[in-house]
Amino acid sequence: MTVDFPEPRAVYVHVPFCAHRCGYCDFTLVAGRDDLVDRYLAALEVELQSLGTRRPIETLFFGGGTPTHLSMSALSRLMDLLQRWFELSADGEFSVEANPAGLGTDKIHLLADAGVNRVSLGAQSFDTGVLRRLERDHRSADILRAIERLRMRIDNVSLDLIFAAPGQSLDLWNETLDAALAAAPQHISTYGLTFEKGTAFWSRLRKGTLRKAPEELERAMYAAAMDRLATAGYRQYEISNFAQPGFECRHNLVYWKGHPYYGFGPGAARYLAGRRETNHRSVTSWLKRIETGSSPIADSERLFDEDRAREQFVLGLRMTAGVETAEFRRQTGFDIDRLAGETISRYRHLGLLEQTDVHIRLTREGRFVADTIVGDFL
């Protein structure tokens, strides 16, 4: 089948700087290395020059790291750089990740003046003990102050929350949900804590100084989030994401719908013309490769038609609306039942998938074991 790959209309930029690295974090970042910022901005400009010309886009997302950790002058340079290479549509979405600590009004005005219209705050919890155990550098009051300041200029705020943290009870999780709902953000993301290999938390887990939350407790916390956020008017549109009507993250929907996107910066991924590429995760390796005229790409894979179809199906299952069968056939050329009918049938009988004439999607029960289900389709 001949596939006509559209030009990307979404851009991700990775900003790898943080004040410190939390024990659970396995993202590409450097802490306490602000001396690298100028080199980073220069290398990013070189990487962007590969575009050749300014490109029209509909979503732009700055992730990290902590983009707002940059100084005012560096953050201004970053904004100017991206505006030179991308023209965001009039109704486009411009998202920036931020930590509550250190997000002053000066940076908020800078972001808003540059066109940022959505900020994702790494709140994680409203409980002091849980925040301390997660090694966060803010407290609940900082979250509320950040939201208040943001609303002076930016009216689309998202909160990231972590459940199943060490020492976190179901009551404490419900209290965090209470506080988040009282703050009334437009979007809430909830993530179960994972112990990624190579992190400090992974080492402490192996040594027995940290313990995972029991599975039944983690399940109860996720169920509480689904139930309570739905009751409060937040629609769950993806496994971990809830939004008030019209405030779904348009950039992340690009990923889950299998659409192409650009990616720049250390560790950034991109999907162009059926090829997936990932830059070097080491910030210094990424810098050195660009500075010496070498490619920053560490991994590259062209997906065959069937692999691309399976991946698109798996990504689509993350959304609560599921995969629309007719649209899937139009985009990939594959019939879902021929591609994975036996596996679909098995999970339908287990009550974990729902299939109609229009779509296939996870049931509520299926969301609890989504990782296992999607793995069977790859």
* pLDDT in the model for residue 2: 54
**Does the residue 23 lie in any domain?**
yes
Residue 216 shares a structural domain with residue 329:
no
Residue 191 forms beta bridges with which residues? Answer: 162
CA distance 205 to 212: 8
Based on the fold, state whether residues 243 and 339 are members of the same structural domain.
no
Residues 250 and 347 in one domain: no
**Is residue 248 domain-shared with residue 335, that is, in the same domain?**
no
Domain stop point among 213, 241, 256 = 256
- Residue 21 forms part of a structural domain: yes
299, 281 contact by CB (below 8 A):
no
CATH number (domain holding residue 246)? 3.20.20.70
Nearest one of 61, 45, 56 to 11, comparing CA atoms: 61
Tell me, yes or no, whether 17 and 107 share the same domain.
Answer: yes
34 and 182 both lie in a single domain: yes
Same domain, 222 and 362: no
pLDDT of residue 375: 87
**Residue 343 placed within a domain:** yes
Whether residue 317 contacts residue 257, with contact meaning beta carbons closer than 8 Å, is answered with no
Q: Are 31 and 65 in contact (CB under 8 A)?
A: no
Cross-strand partners of 279: 297
Which residues constitute the domain of residue 333? 322-375
Structural domains counted in the chain: 2
Same domain (yes/no): 54, 195: yes
Residue 102: predicted pLDDT: 84
| Exposure on the CB side of residue 67, measured as CA atoms within 13 A | 26
Nearest by Cα to 129 from 175, 66, 65, 69: 175
User: Does residue 262 belong to any structural domain of this protein?
Assistant: no
Among 232, 256, 280, residue at a domain's last position? 256
225: in domain: yes
Q: What is the pLDDT of residue 331?
A: 87
Q: Are residues 234 and 329 in the same domain?
A: no
pTM of the model: 0.95
Residue 363 in domain: yes
Q: Tell me, yes or no, whether 246 and 99 share the same domain.
A: yes
In this structure, the answer to whether residues 99 and 231 fall within a common structural domain is: yes
Residue 305 covered by a domain:
no
Domain limit, last residue, from 228, 256, 284: 256
Pairing verdict, β 353-355 and 359-362 = antiparallel
Token representation of residue 126: 């409203």
Contact 14, 61 (CB under 8 A): no
Q: Block means of pLDDT (10 residues each) for the chain, length 378 residues?
A: 79 96 94 96 97 97 96 97 96 97 94 98 97 95 96 97 96 98 98 95 94 96 98 98 98 95 98 94 97 96 92 94 93 91 94 94 96 88
Q: Are residues 183 and 330 both part of a single domain?
A: no
Residue 234 inside a domain? The answer is yes
Asked if residue 153 lies in contact with residue 109, where contact means CB atoms within 8 angstroms, the answer is: yes
